Every structure is written in structure tokens, then in C-alpha cells.
Amino acid sequence: MRKIKIVTDSMTDLPQKQINQYGIEVLPLTIIFGDQEYRDGIDLSNRAFYEKLKRSEVLPRTSQISPGDFANAFQKYIKEDYEIICITASSKASGTHQSAVIACNDVDAERISVIDTMSLSFGAGLSVLKAVRMAEQGHERQTIVKALEKSAPRVDHLFTVDTVEFLQKGGRINPGKALVANLLNIKPILTLKDGLVDPLDKVRGSKRVMDKMLELAVFRSGNFSDKTVGISHADAPERAEELYSKVKKELKPAEILISEIGCTIGTHTGPGTLAMFYSTEAKNPVYEGDLKINQSGR
């Protein structure tokens, strides 16, 4: 049986420790500030990115990974006699998934599987971790693919932004709603629905946000005793540690992992964003909030 290599994109926001531990190949999207281009997480650190983002009057642009970049990575591991599972963030949010599909068909579709998680940030990263751990246990590629096809749609996303400014700049929230949210200190709680950002709830004031996120998590997922919870933050490590402590005490999951929200996702959410991800047994009821999200971009 051939070895299995897991390839993913930088939108999955994996913790560096796990990238190193499992030898995951992470291909970067491109961040464009004016006429300067940076490879996500390679040419521009997360901290440096958020500093530039705070000073920038306009949002940077993001550019998907090209089929050629995927093909180069695939060819490298095919030559080393690997089978490949390529796991991408939501195809609804970026053309990166389609680039991976094109490269797969051009290189060797018999030895490469491409999975669309329909998730973002560490929500997609949880699928990557599931894959590498199954590969370490000796499971075959098709077994892992089938497991991901079942589990990926059940990864839930809960996140809040420190300010709606970046959602507004990116055209993802109505300017009038953004003004009201800022004036009343309203903090939105958002989720992902069918691969795209969707409003879920809101609270007034940042102190109540974490407790509301935990309340929603219990409602949407129930028992956490056998689950991994991913916590992601955008240049807000103290808030992530606070959420970690609350999750550990109140949800008591089997595992909690903290990651940073990278440049690509951070372009649209801004610094201070806080998120949590976990699996659900089935699709839970969701109710619509008052924020209206426009879906466009990478």
C-alpha cells in the first residue's frame, strides 16, 4: 500500500505544530496590497499582515492558488510514490478548489482525491487533521475519503468579529446594518451555511459573546465529550485563551486546539475575530439573524 500525502490550502488555518507533526503540505493563496504580492503565511506573517490591514484604507485582494501550483505539488509526491488527498476550503468562497480539481485531472486522477470541505478556516482544518490521523493509523485513501465525505458537512462554525468594518469593506454586510451595529456596540455571531457566511445571532457588548457562542454550541451539537474543538483567532491570543478556558470548563471536549486565522480569511474578517469549530451529529436547526451577508470574493 502506498503512503498517503495530505495537501491543503492556506485557508484551512492549521496550527503550525500540527503542520510540522504530520508533514502536511500547505499551499498558499496570494495576498495583494496595492502592487505588492505576498504568499499567505510565507512572505507575510499573520502579525505583520494584521498590522498592515489596520493601516490600509482599502482591503487587500486575495488570489486563489493556480492549477499549476497544485500540479507542481501533486507531481512531486506522485514521483515519490505517494497517493494524495487534497483537502480544500469551501469552493463557494474561492476558486482554489476548482484549481485543485483541474490539476488532479491533469496529473493523475487515479492516485489523487480532491475533497471540498465546504468549510472555512480551522473548520476545514479539522477535516485535514482527521485525514492525516487516519492515514497515520494505516487507513487506505478511499476509506479516508469516504469518512471525510461523511464528516465534513457536519463541521459547525461559530465566529464573531471585533468590528463589522471589514465585512462592510468587503461588501459582505449592508452599510446601514454596519452603522447600527457599531453605534449600538452589537457583536454579530456568524456561521457557515452551504459553504458561505451566514448570520446566526447577535449580542450587545463583547463580554457576552463567548457565553452566547457556548450556548449556541451546546444547542447545535449537544455532548462534546468525544469531540475535538478548534478555536481560531485573528491577532487576539488573549481572547482565544479565554475562550479555551471556557470551552474546557463548560463543554469538556476530548481535545481543544488553538490556531491563528491567517491572511486570506483575515482579509474579510479583520483583527479580533474569534471562532470555534466542532462536529455535529446531524444538521441542527438554525435561525436567521438581522445581518444580511453578501457573498462574493475569493
Q: For helices 141-151 and 122-136, give the axis angle rounded to 10 degrees.
A: 150
pLDDT at 63 over 80: yes
The tens digit of pLDDT for each residue in 17-54 reads: 999 999 999 999 999 998 899 999 999 999 999 999 98
Kindly report the backbone phi and psi dihedral angles of residue 274, in degrees, each rounded to the nearest multiple of 5, phi listed first.
Answer: -135, 135
Which residues, at least 6 apart from 175, have a Cβ–Cβ distance to it below 8 Å? 168
pLDDT band at 193 (very low <50, low <70, confident <90, very high): confident
> Are 25 and 104 spatial neighbours (Cβ–Cβ below 8 Å)?
no
> How far, in Å, CA of 80 to CA of 59, rounded?
40
The tens digit of pLDDT for each residue in 227-258 reads: 999 999 999 999 999 999 999 999 999 999 99
Whether residue 83 is contained in a domain is answered as: yes
As for how many domains the chain has, the answer is 2
Question: Among 49-58, 117-126, 258-267, whose mean pLDDT is lowest?
Answer: 49-58
The mean pLDDT of 63-89, rounded to a whole number, is: 98
**Domain containing 173: what range?**
154-279
Verify that 37 and 72 share a domain, yes or no: yes
- Report CA 8 to chain centroid distance, whole Å: 11
Nearest to 159 by CA among 270, 56, 45: 270
Whether residue 171 is contained in a domain is answered as: yes
Which residues, at least 6 apart from 106, have a Cβ–Cβ distance to it below 8 Å? 67, 71
Question: What pLDDT, on the 0 to 100 scale, is given for residue 169?
Answer: 54
Q: Give the strands of the sheet with 82-88, arranged side by side.
A: 25-27, 3-9, 82-88, 112-116
Question: What pLDDT, on the 0 to 100 scale, is given for residue 130?
Answer: 98
| Residue 131, domain CATH | 3.40.50.10170
Whether residue 183 is contained in a domain is answered as: yes
pTM for the whole structure: 0.89
